[in-house]
Structure 1
């Protein structure tokens, strides 16, 4: 691995983002073409297995188990540029770096994830990590969630969910279920409320009905069309916008999931679509205006769930498209919108919700996917982390045929 702090060079493939999707693409490209000139732009020194933070909040993993050094997971044959991108000039096949340099490319892969808009909720940044306010969406706060649930002695426990899209749409209620299960096991009485900006427990009706029963089983109350807009940590109050105005609720414990959006430098770039996300064909993951630009993961405008499972299904499609465009293969592939959400309904059980575009249920196992199972908990707790570090980040394709990208009948022009 070559590490560059600044550069004015040109690379054949430039991957912007050294997170899940970006590293999977870079590793897979170099696995197929070891001599290919691939650069990865990533400023961070640390890499996180973010799906594990729900389990950290529940006390079922430690934060340290979700963290590794970026150098440990960066593909050895990649050029690592420790910098951040500030702007794109796709008409010139060029981008600008925060360090002041520019970089040219033949092909660009954008995999920068999304940004969490903590400041969008008045008073939230000042009270996070104290006054009973927490969020599993931050590495340093997930342990505080566990601390709060273990020390909770009764009262009002509020859990929020913002407008979609967000990364892992099931994570807000995962935090609720694990906390509620902990309260029950400890014999603590709690008034639990799920304040959801949306109108249902889940976007896929088949799973939503099953989750209605699960949340009711905990005696928790869902409040739909309730959007958190302000938090007063000292007074322990949360204010929500509803269709009829605003309401304020007292809390003893508040788990917040803030609004999320495309990163600001994406919103203002020529790559963005109307909603600010990178605009790509939802099947080919190729940009709608710039044919040598691909994008995947949470930063795109594809109408799928923003999950690790989606990125796992997307990266072979991008790799196939790049190799075809480079003339290394005549194969191409399509993404069908596959996503999955392992919903931790209690300590020791998971509902494995799998689906694709159109809300169509896609079950990998010959079992009713709406039923929480201990087997799926084992997948979530043990197998998926292993898969992440040892398979996905190494650029290896998922081995099951139904989870491989579907070949196109005819090759697409480069």
Structure 2
């Protein structure tokens, strides 16, 4: 099979559908094709709520066919090879598609193979992840009877950087309702040295950490999971601040390095071969993530294996008729649906301007992203920021009555936004190509 499109889009996720819909909305005569093999489209931001038993998993799914915009051709195949010099994409079925403009939006892939033992352990027994199977997360929470509840974040970029801790805050209250919180130590192990990159939001989250009595372990890079013994092995990626400072206590005289441990809990842990092993009774993790293989093996990526795009225009740095959007791009901001919401109008404006006048539009992306940080049932903080990593609320969201007040603080109004308003905006506005 061979066919030419004015605009070819790779990916039928949030970015691919939104950019296709907006292009069609603004120029209905465009010939657009979407390469996407999946039959189902998921609203993944709700999977945290599914894992905590406050959202129906089935409500997060819709048939892909119902979201492909009218007049856009759905190519139900796997993209495989890029030939940018000849404006061509080849699929796994050896179909060839040429284009005037290409939008690369395949998202990212879960890569458990980057942590030893994780691929075999994922979504089995007491090891769970909302990123892959939120229904199993709920089963793990329901079966938990106390002990060490370990939550962990990987060292790779991930979609929705706040998700590894959202489920932890909900689990704290879930355990309290189940009567097992008092015999539970909650541990959050992460490779970074701050709970969140935006200082104003980090201050609120550390107050939540204090209130919920959670032990945060900074500089912990997950390198191995022993599912049989229920041990998570971490490399400590910071030198201890002194000879008398340790990561885990062997006796009462040991002084724990406070830059590594916040609110230390004396859970069962061991040291072996330069690694720290934490025993767990349940473990939730965000698995490592990376760009899909066909992207990483293409001529379009940076040395880190992500799509190479200009941070303002979203145009590929080498090929002027290729644009990237969404999680696959290497950009110094968080990978979220909110980022896609702001990137899409920029990509659409630039493609339309190139078609009409052979130059770029004056719209640029400022790095805006947001993380709806659920801090409990009925409570949420909304972290909004741009490339500066400063707290910067979106004026458009501020028009909603629910957004009155300081969204860097916990509030029930923000929970209503997360659970009800954002899904509505997603299905009825973003997926239909409206600028929101």
TM-score (norm 1): 0.92
Q: Distance in 2 between matches of 1:116 and 1:357?
A: 25
Question: Which of 347, 350, 362 is equivalent to 1:318?
Answer: 347
Q: 1:204 aligns with which of 198, 211, 216?
A: 198
Residue equivalent to 2:103: 109
Equivalences, count: 390
Q: Deviations over 1:251-282 (max 9, x none)?
A: 11100111111112112211111211111111
Q: Which residue of 1 aligns with 2:173?
A: 181
Q: Counterpart of 2:266?
A: none
Alignment of 1:375-414 (within 5 A): 375-398=413-436
**Match for residue 88 of structure 1?**
82
Structure 1 segments, 4+ long, off by >6 Å, are none
1:345 pairs with 2:375: yes
Match of 1:237?
A: 231
2-side partners of 1:181 and 1:92: how far apart?
A: 56
CA drift of 1:239 comes to 1.1
- On the 8 A contact 1:352/1:369 being kept in 2, the answer is yes
1:287 maps onto 2:325 in alignment: no
Structure 2: unaligned runs, 5 residues or longer: 240-273
Whether the aligned pair in 1 keeps the contact of 2:35 and 2:75 (CA below 8 Å) is yes
Question: Is the 8 Å Cα contact of residues 129 and 144 (structure 1) preserved in structure 2?
Answer: yes
Q: 1:187/1:247 Cα in 2 relative to 1: closer, same or farther (>3 Å)?
A: same
What RMSD in Å do the two structures reach over aligned CA positions? 1.4
Whether the aligned pair in 2 keeps the contact of 1:283 and 1:334 (CA below 8 Å) is yes
- Distance (whole Å) between structure 2 residues aligned to residue 92 and residue 127 of structure 1: 43
The CA distance in 2 between the partners of 1:209 and 1:163, in whole Å, is: 22
Task: Identify unmatched segments of 5+ residues in structure 1.
Answer: 1-6, 399-414
Equivalent position of 1:151 in the other structure: 143
Larger Rg: 2
1:16-55 equivalent positions in 2, closer than 5 A: 16-55=10-49
Deviation at 1:159, TM superposition (A): 0.3
Query: In 2, are the aligned partners of 1:131 and 1:234 still within 8 Å (CA)?
Result: no
Instruction: Give the TM-score, by structure 2 length.
Output: 0.87
Q: What is the distance in 1 between the residues matched to 2:129 and 2:105?
A: 24
Aligned to 1:57: 51
Q: Please say if 1:305 is aligned against 2:299.
A: no
Cα deviation, residue 295, structure 1: 0.6
Alpha-carbon offset, residue 330 of structure 1: 8.1
- Paired with 2:178 and 2:58, the residues of 1 have a C-alpha distance of 26
